[in-house]
């Protein structure tokens, strides 16, 4: 009997959950093993039980529908398996035949289907293999080496590609049907009757990914509501809520901004929708389960769940359910909170215990964000231990929890059945189309008579696709039990191993393939550390740090080896509030320029002669100090440059990465001369040395990262540096230089001269003591510098220029439009569009243009504009009034000839800052733009597939060559485009900003820059002199080394 507990849930329960979020894996698994461990006789019983299950599954496999066998034959470790996955993901949503034909050729023509012929006992698999093999031969003329293939080629030539297209489309639809219960809830309910009669139950999932727009969210809400009505009206009234069908709900489908950064808005809007659905489910006494999603959403979901579950209108209803992912480190502790919530309100909660379906993305995201540890286990066996520990814990909480064990694993099923004994108030769960043979031994009355609820997706193929691929990825991977249970080559003993015993043997053996994010680039360097903005404690600490900062102490002035001339100070204001001073600036004078040059020339020889290891060590210390002062630097980037939390953090991390990367590269290049192989009796060595004084001119759009990258690159190669920061962002530069001094860089070696380009910059560029210039900024300024260097006389010096770009993204009709929209918005409007890599022109194939524009407008309507000091802000201000006016003038001019598709609304709170609303303009070609527009303005072009070569020509005709984005599922199309467009950085099926040091060296060609690429292996070479050293080693006598060679 469930007893009501105290009114309020203990706060330490949430604290325990949060503590485990990114806990050390070894420590946590050690604790879980204590609960998960079975008695020796239980382990033996489970193994024997599981062995019997596996043997029967294998015996029954020939009678199966074929999906399990299909996944075995076409595992995702094979090229053919990957080809099928890509084809299934894209084919059914492509609207035009020409693109469908290209997609089929791309995925099927090069695969080795012959090697799979006759390898399976399943007719389904062999029939599919023959079809794919024949299709492959039809599409590959070079392989037409048999009478059959020649005959097929004739058929193709006679009938056209439509024959192949229809056959493959039909095959994909049949394959899709294996995973989807029905196109509508009525169709799915009707199809369920047969299995319900045997003892199966159903939980229906209205297929679809996260909502991007209000329209999406409203559509999903309506679909859920209608589904509840249909399910409820057809449910047998004589059955309990546990026996009736239910529905599964994704919270991300109910709100377009379901994320921690938008917590206040989400908690205001989303619970009402969920409560309405729960009340509808309660009306019919059917189950409603909240699906588990990405780990970063868990904390927010618990707030929503508690708020809804606590509503009095749900009293007496036992159908509320929560999915718990055992691959999450928090799962074991989450169960305590769920049980406490149930006891508080005197009603049980259904708990669907699953392994988890987002593992690969959780790992990648954590690595990219540089977080302290993973939210999920890095070994499958550790997840198995967690599942076992959670299962045992749930079985001690049956007063508060109705257990639902979701697994296709025979060992896990046998473990549950061994633990429960005669207890029957629970159920298994499985995915529709999978694990049929396993549960046929458990569910029917003539077997064990234990119910299994089938998680049954419902929806059209457009909504199905992302789900289908996730199922293929999750269950088709070689490590998956579903794959191995029907693989005769896998010994049964390997399928029924005790996870506790295996995990114990691996505890002190870290997964070498998945190192901690810190060590991702080791042994070369440490990865920069990020902040987890989904962790409320982290966010709260950052907010407190921001609030305590005294902006009045922020100051920029010339930082010289000798005392600078006294200059008049003036205030620096914030771009989000022109009326708010955030510090003061004293600009350098012409006398300061001469002082700096004199000091730098005097210090050069000593600095250049220091061992490179010492210089590199200074860079490592700079990186460490930047890391320690990350919150301060983020606040400065926010206040002085108008950067959001995410953009500020990314910039600090980039600066840190520059330091560590260049330190490592410098040691590799300069630690010892390179011995050049040649003829005997002579020594030939090549060594690298500094050039002298380097001038670093950095921009305002990356006032820390690019500033730091330029400076440390010049320093580590043995040069002295005079840094001239952007006029708009001197405070950040001054703070960075002070940290560099603290790290051990002598003041004579690095000096800062804030001031105007016309005065300070010009004086420095014209001085013959400057031996290298590193510049990032506009083409106009780069031209002036280049002309000055050509006319000033003296030696020809290196000039590294990084300038702008007229950057395009090409989207064909095979692309996933939801992903395109997210990537396009991030690329065009991130950092308020003030990145040289930002997307300026989006080319969209005409067949998908209307849908993409609809999604783009709806998603833009959800963007939050405002003061970047708030985590919820998506887009902040542009840098100053001049920049704002240029953007406004451009939009005004364009609307005289072209359509303004959409422009975001500016909140009243933006009136004191330099805010430009994100704007989308439809144009006919990139050639309509006569200059780079540096801000949140995106131009969209509709193109015909047959016009692709013209699109490529027009993009190249701009003369720029910085970044390019391509969204396509057709590899041959991607290759065709990237080999023809001149771009320094090409990004495929992702956004096109945020180049990572050492991974995506950044820089363009043509009007976009001179190279070499920043953050790449060749950048430092441009800052060095090369010197060859040759010695005749026989000058004092014979060739001793030659004469002493042994006989061979």
In the predicted structure, residue 471 carries a pLDDT above the cut 80: no
Structure confidence at residue 106 (pLDDT): 82
Q: What is the model's pTM?
A: 0.93
| Residue-wise pLDDT tens digits, 486-530 | 666 778 887 889 999 999 999 988 888 999 999 999 999 999 999
How far is it, in rounded angstroms, from Cα 594 to Cα 605? 19
Phi first, then psi, for residue 695 (nearest 5°) are -100, 125
Q: What average pLDDT score do residues 622-646 get?
A: 98
CA distances from 458 to 40, 224, 337, 351, 734 (A): 43, 11, 31, 22, 59
Q: What fold characterizes domain 11-31+200-461?
A: TIM Barrel (3.20.20)
Report whether 594 contacts 722 (CB < 8 A). Answer: no
pLDDT for position 116 = 57
Q: Among residues of the chain, what percentage have pLDDT more than 90?
A: 77
According to the model, what pLDDT value does residue 78 have? 61
Tell me the pLDDT tens digit for each residue of 67-83: 555 555 555 556 666 66
Counting every residue, how long is the chain? Answer: 1048
The confidence score (pLDDT) of residue 166 equals: 75
For residues 973 and 637, what is the distance between their CA atoms, to the nearest angstrom? 40
CATH of 559-564+587-672+683-802+1022-1026, one of 2.130.10.10, 3.40.50.150, 3.40.605.10, 3.90.550.10: 3.40.605.10
Amino acid 11: pLDDT: 74
Q: Which of 25, 427, 437, 802 is catalytic?
A: 802
The per-residue pLDDT for 1037 is: 66
Q: pLDDT tens, 847-883?
A: 999 999 999 999 999 999 999 999 999 999 999 999 9
Asked if pLDDT for residue 107 goes beyond 70, the answer is yes
Write down the pLDDT at residue 612.
98
Longest dimension (CA), the chain: 108
The pLDDT value given to residue 484: 65
Bond from prior residue into 1012 cis (ω within 30 degrees of 0): yes
Find out whether 788 and 761 touch, Cβ atoms under 8 Å.
no
Helices (H), 254-409: 263-284, 298-309, 331-344, 359-369, 380-394
Look at residue 82 in the predicted model and tell me its pLDDT.
Answer: 65
Q: Kindly tell me if the per-residue pLDDT of 1042 is higher than 90.
A: no
308-315 contact pairs (CB < 8 A, 24+):
308/271, 308/274, 308/275, 308/278, 309/341, 309/345, 309/349, 310/344, 310/345, 311/275, 311/278, 313/275, 313/279, 313/282, 314/278, 314/279, 314/282, 314/345, 314/347, 315/345, 315/346, 315/347
Same fold, 11-31+200-461 and 559-564+587-672+683-802+1022-1026: no
Is residue 477's pLDDT more than 70?
no
Query: Token digits for 278?
Result: 């729960």
Say yes or no to pLDDT of 170 above 50: yes
For 388, how many CA atoms within 13 A lie in the half-sphere containing its CB? Answer: 32
pLDDT, averaged across the chain: 90
Q: Which of 80, 89, 149 is nearest to 119 (CA)?
A: 80
Chain segment 382-426, per-residue pLDDT in tens: 999 999 999 999 999 999 999 999 999 999 999 999 999 999 999
Looking at residue 568, its pLDDT comes to 73
Question: Reduced to 3 states, what is the DSSP secondary structure of residue 354?
Answer: strand
Tell me: pLDDT of 474 over 90.
no
Which residues are registered as beta bridge partners of 322?
A: 290, 351
pLDDT at 563: 78
| pLDDT, tens digit, 9 for 90 and up, residues 976-997 | 999 999 999 999 999 999 999 9
Mean pLDDT of 956-966: 98
Confidence of residue 429 (pLDDT cuts 50, 70, 90): very high
Q: Which of 452, 638, 720, 836 is catalytic?
A: 836
Task: Assess whether 795 carries a catalytic annotation.
Answer: no
Q: Which pLDDT score is estimated for 136?
A: 47
- How many CA atoms lie within 13 Å of 223's alpha carbon, on the beta-carbon side? 25
pLDDT at 433: 82
Taking the CA of residue 578 as centre, how many other CA atoms within 13 Å lie in the half-sphere pointing to its CB? 13
In the predicted structure, residue 436 carries a pLDDT above the cut 90: no
Among the residue ranges 139-143, 374-378, 594-598, 698-702, the one predicted with the least confidence is: 139-143
CA angle 534-535-539, nearest 5°?
A: 95
CB-CB neighbours of 272 under 10 Å: 11
- Mean pLDDT over residues 602-620, rounded? 98
Q: What is the pLDDT of residues 901-948, one digit of tens each?
A: 999 999 999 999 999 999 999 999 999 999 999 999 999 999 999 999
The pLDDT, as a whole number, for residue 1006 is 97
The predicted-structure confidence for 650-709, as pLDDT tens digits, reads as follows: 999 999 999 999 999 999 999 999 999 999 899 999 999 999 999 999 999 999 999 999
pLDDT at 386 (0 to 100): 98
C-alpha pair distances (Å), 181 with each of 202, 223, 326, 429, 455: 10, 15, 26, 15, 9
Q: Which range, of 162-171, 237-246, 273-282, 450-459, averages the lowest pLDDT?
A: 162-171
Instruction: Please confirm, yes or no, whether 836 is among the known catalytic residues.
Output: yes
Tokens of 528: 């920069």
DSSP 202-218: EEEEE------SHHHHH
The whole-number pLDDT of residue 154 equals 47
What topology is assigned to 807-1013 in CATH? Aldehyde Dehydrogenase; Chain A, domain 2 (3.40.309)
How far apart CA 1013 and CA 1002 sit, in angstroms, is 5
Residue range 940-951, pLDDT digits in tens = 999 999 999 999
pLDDT for res 184: 92
- The stretch 741-769 carries a mean pLDDT of 97
Sorted by where each begins, the domain ranges of the chain are 11-31+200-461, 67-177, 559-564+587-672+683-802+1022-1026, 807-1013
How many C-alpha atoms does 557 have within 13 Å on its Cβ side?
A: 16
Q: Are 741 and 765 in contact (CB under 8 A)?
A: no
pLDDT band at 340 (very low <50, low <70, confident <90, very high): very high
- SS3 of residue 604 by DSSP: helix
pLDDT tens-digit series, residues 152-161: 344 444 445 6
């Amino acid at each position: 009997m469930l007893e009501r507990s105290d009114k309020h849930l203990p706060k330490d329960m949430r604290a325990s959950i949060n503590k485990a979020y990114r806990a050390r894996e070894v420590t946590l698994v050690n604790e879980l093993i204590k609960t998960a461990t079975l008695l020796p006789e239980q382990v033996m019983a489970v193994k024997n039980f599981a062995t019997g299950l596996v043997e029967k599954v294998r015996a029954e496999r020939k009678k199966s529908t074929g999906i399990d066998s299909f996944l075995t034959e076409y595992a995702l470790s094979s090229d053919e398996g990957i080809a099928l996955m890509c084809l299934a993901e894209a084919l059914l949503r492509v609207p035009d035949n020409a693109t469908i034909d290209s997609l089929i050729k791309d995925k099927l023509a090069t695969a080795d289907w012959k090697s799979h012929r006759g390898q399976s006992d399943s007719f389904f698999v062999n029939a599919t293999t023959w079809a794919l093999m024949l299709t492959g031969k039809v599409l590959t003329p070079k392989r037409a080496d048999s009478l059959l293939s020649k005959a097929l080629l004739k058929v193709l030539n006679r009938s056209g590609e439509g024959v192949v297209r229809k056959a493959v489309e039909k095959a994909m639809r049949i394959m899709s049907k294996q995973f989807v219960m029905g196109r509508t809830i009525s169709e799915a309910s009707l199809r369920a009757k047969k299995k319900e009669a045997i003892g199966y139950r159903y939980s229906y999932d209205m297929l679809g990914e996260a909502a991007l727009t209000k329209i999406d969210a409203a559509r999903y809400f309506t679909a859920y509501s209608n589904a509840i009505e249909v399910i409820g009206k057809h449910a047998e009234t004589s059955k309990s809520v546990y026996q009736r069908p239910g529905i599964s709900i994704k919270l991300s489908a109910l709100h377009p901004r379901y994320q921690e950064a938008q917590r206040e808005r989400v908690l205001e809007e989303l619970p009402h929708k969920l409560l309405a659905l729960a009340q509808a489910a309660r009306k019919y006494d059917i189950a409603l389960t909240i699906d588990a999603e990405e780990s970063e959403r868990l904390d927010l979901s618990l707030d929503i769940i508690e708020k809804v579950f606590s509503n009095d209108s749900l009293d007496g209803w036992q159908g509320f359910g929560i999915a718990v992912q055992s691959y999450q480190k928090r799962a074991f502790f989450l169960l305590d909170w769920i049980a406490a919530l149930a006891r508080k309100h005197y009603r049980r909660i259904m708990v669907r215990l699953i392994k988890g379906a987002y593992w690969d993305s959780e790992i990648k995201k954590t690595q990219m964000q540089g977080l302290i540890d993973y939210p999920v286990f890095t070994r499958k066996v550790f997840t198995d231990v967690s599942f076992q520990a959670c299962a045992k814990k749930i079985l001690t909480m049956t007063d508060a929890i109705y257990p639902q064990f979701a697994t296709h694993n025979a060992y896990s099923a046998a473990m549950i059945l061994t633990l429960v004994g005669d207890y029957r108030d629970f159920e298994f769960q499985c995915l529709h189309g999978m694990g049929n043979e396993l549960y046929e031994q458990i569910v029917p009355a003539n077997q064990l008579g234990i119910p299994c609820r089938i998680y049954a997706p419902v929806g059209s193929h457009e909504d199905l696709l992302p789900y289908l691929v996730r199922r293929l990825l999750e269950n088709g991977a070689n490590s998956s039990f579903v794959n191995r249970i029907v693989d005769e080559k896998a010994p049964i003993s390997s399928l029924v191993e005790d996870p506790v015993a295996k995990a114990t043997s691996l505890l002190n053996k870290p997964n070498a393939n998945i190192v901690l994010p810190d060590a991702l680039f080791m042994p070369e360097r440490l990865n920069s550390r990020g902040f987890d903005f989904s962790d409320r404690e982290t966010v709260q600490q950052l907010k407190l740090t921001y609030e305590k900062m005294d902006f009045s102490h922020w100051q920029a002035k010339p930082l010289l080896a000798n005392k600078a001339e006294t200059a008049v100070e003036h205030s620096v204001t914030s771009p989000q509030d022109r009326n708010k001073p955030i510090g003061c600036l004293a600009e350098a004078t012409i006398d300061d320029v001469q002082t700096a040059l004199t000091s730098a020339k005097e210090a050069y020889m000593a600095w250049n002669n220091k061992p490179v290891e010492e210089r590199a060590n200074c860079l490592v210390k700079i990186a460490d100090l930047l890391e320690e002062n990350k919150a301060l630097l983020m606040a400065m980037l926010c206040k002085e440059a108008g950067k959001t939390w995410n953009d500020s953090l990314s910039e600090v991390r980039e600066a840190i990465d520059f330091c560590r990367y260049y330190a490592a590269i410098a040691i590799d290049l300069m630690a010892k001369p390179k011995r050049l192989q040649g003829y005997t009796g002579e020594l030939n060595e090549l060594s690298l040395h500094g050039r002298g004084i380097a001038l670093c001119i950095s921009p305002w759009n990356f006032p820390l990262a690019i500033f730091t990258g330029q400076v440390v690159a010049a320093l580590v190669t043995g040069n002295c540096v005079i840094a001239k920061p952007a006029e708009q962002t001197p405070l950040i530069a001054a703070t960075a230089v002070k940290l560099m001094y603290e790290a051990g860089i002598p003041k004579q070696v690095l000096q800062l001269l804030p001031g105007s380009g016309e005065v300070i910059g010009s004086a420095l560029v014209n001085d013959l003591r400057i031996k290298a210039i590193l510049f990032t900024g506009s083409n106009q300024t780069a031209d002036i510098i280049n002309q000055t260097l050509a006319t000033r006389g003296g030696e020809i010096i290196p000039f590294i220029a990084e300038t702008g770009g007229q950057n395009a993204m090409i989207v064909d009709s095979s692309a996933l439009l939801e992903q395109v929209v997210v990537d396009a918005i991030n690329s065009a409007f991130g950092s308020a569009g003030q990145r040289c890599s930002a997307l300026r022109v989006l080319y969209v194939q005409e067949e998908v243009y209307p849908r993409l524009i609809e999604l783009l407008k709806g998603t833009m309507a959800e963007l939050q504009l405002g003061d970047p000091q708030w985590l919820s802000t998506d887009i902040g201000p542009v840098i100053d009034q001049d920049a704002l006016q240029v953007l406004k003038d451009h939009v005004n001019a364009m609307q005289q000839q072209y359509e303004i598709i959409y422009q975001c609304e500016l909140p009243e709170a933006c009136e004191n800052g330099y805010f430009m609303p994100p704007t989308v303009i439809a144009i006919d070609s990139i050639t309509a733009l006569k200059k780079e527009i540096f801000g949140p303005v995106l131009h969209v072009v509709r193109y015909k597939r047959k016009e692709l070569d013209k699109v490529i020509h027009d993009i190249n005709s701009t003369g720029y060559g910085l970044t390019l984005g391509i969204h396509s599922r057709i590899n041959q199309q991607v290759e065709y485009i990237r080999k023809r467009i001149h771009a320094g950085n090409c990004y495929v099926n992702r956004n096109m900003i945020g180049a990572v040091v050492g991974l995506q060296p950044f820089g363009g060609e043509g009007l976009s820059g001179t190279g070499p690429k920043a953050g790449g292996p060749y950048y430092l070479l441009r800052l060095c002199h090369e010197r060859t050293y040759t010695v005749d080693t026989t000058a004092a006598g014979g060739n001793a080394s030659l004469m002493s060679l042994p006989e061979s």
